[in-house]
Chains A and B, each alone.
Chain A
């Protein structure tokens, strides 16, 4: 123990929480996930208690593992009946050696993979999967999860409680699926990680620090999948897509915390490191004939990343990719994107026509970006009166705080 007064690594507690909960759940079984969470919480409280007075240990993570192990042993002594529920390990003789082995680094990663499949169990709905992933794997608090979902702490608590109950009742093993079961389960997992990523990237909650943390967590977990399942191209495509989008994260927000629209972003702020990684994953994902929506979305993001400027972007290639995407999974949001890109190809009048078609189809009711786009284009075409009504309509549709500020700034130009 040193008396150093160093700062702890950013979000160390949160990151360790997820690793330790996964490890302890592996020891105690899914039925005792809550016990695992309570014990890890207690380990963190012990840490904050001791370190505040005695200083931060040289290796905080190892210290937390040590304390968690001791808690596991005490719990096993205290409550032998837990062993009966035990599914993956038997503690008969070499109890301590067995416990030691699951705390090895690669085993901690393996436990987290098992936890990913558990949180994304098909018996749970998508909302529960994401909430459970954020809470148990990423270590976010209930309040933080509630903020992301624009929901209340009580609602999220209920959702988590129900999810754990369902998992208990399915009596699922804490394991990574194999054989014929693997591919469909992987699909659920990638969908959930994709949604988790979007929750961070597009969420309407105001806190950009938390939002970025969501994105980075989605990347971290997808990387675990990629390490384990090296020959599944859509995992690579998804990872590429996440890296390419995240590369622009810092350029999206100005110094005052306001939103910077894509067109006006300072491209020098895009993370070259993440772009490079994203391109590598995308390239690696292309060595098979199968094309998934992740491939196409990553390709679109890549087109933006390699463009010198907004004007010099290969809009035609992007338009074609969106058309391809729309044929794979037809969706009004993709049609909205197609309409917006049309402004770069055929001009804003053509865009407005397409937007008007979406509006009259009623396929995107209550989606604020539709009237917002219409308003912005009309304003650029010097039709402030018509623009005003669309911008006002968008403001009524619950945009995020940052979007609200942007829309109000546009309204002032009308």
Chain B
């Protein structure tokens, strides 16, 4: 088993209707339950923050810094056998569609 970071990009939920959000909630809850121990965590990120490119340079604050589809909206951390397995899991993420998802293995596997 390795750990994979699923990076969610976009602003897909911003213009979802409350009804659609609620049905997504039901799918999301089911997804977390179905994954069981393979679900390690996840967080949504605030849109505003800072962006630094050097120790001396100016700090750009109050993003968003990128095009909306490039914005990192949040992440999930999951356990999977290999990249194929991680991709298979990603295909079941209810957020996929409204968001693009980048699948990246962590370099140091646990154990």
Contacts and interface: CB of A to CB of B under 8 A. Distances in A.
Interface of A: 5, 7-8, 11-14, 16-17, 38, 41, 44-49, 51-53, 139-144
B84 interface: no
Contacts of A5: 29, 33
Interface stretch (B20-28, B52-60, B103-111): B20-28
Given A41-B14, A53-B42, A48 B19 contact: no
B26 A13 contact: no
A14 B19 contact: yes
B22 A143 contact: no
Interface of B: 13-22, 24-26, 28-29, 31-33, 42, 44, 74
A139 B16 CA distance: 11
Given A45-B44, A46-B44, A52-B28, A141 B22 contact: no
A11 B14 contact: no
A45 B26 CA distance: 13
A14 B17 contact: yes
A51 B25 contact: yes
A140 B22 CA distance: 12
A53 B29 CA distance: 6
Nearest to A141: B17
A139 B18 contact: yes
A53 B36 CA distance: 11
Contacts of B44: 45-46, 49
Say whether chain A's binding surface is mostly helix, strand, loop, or mixed: helix
B41 to A, nearest CB: 8
Given A53-B32, A53-B42, A17 B26 contact: no
A13 to B, nearest CB: 4
B19 A51 contact: no
B20 A8 contact: no
A41 B14 CA distance: 7
A13 B24 CA distance: 11
Nearest to B15: A142
Nearest to A12: B22
A13 B15 contact: no
A223 to B, nearest CB: 21
Contacts of A141: 15-20
A17 B19 CA distance: 10
A14 B18 contact: yes
A14 B18 CA distance: 5
Nearest to A47: B25
B32 A140 contact: no
Nearest to A143: B17
Contacts of B31: 52
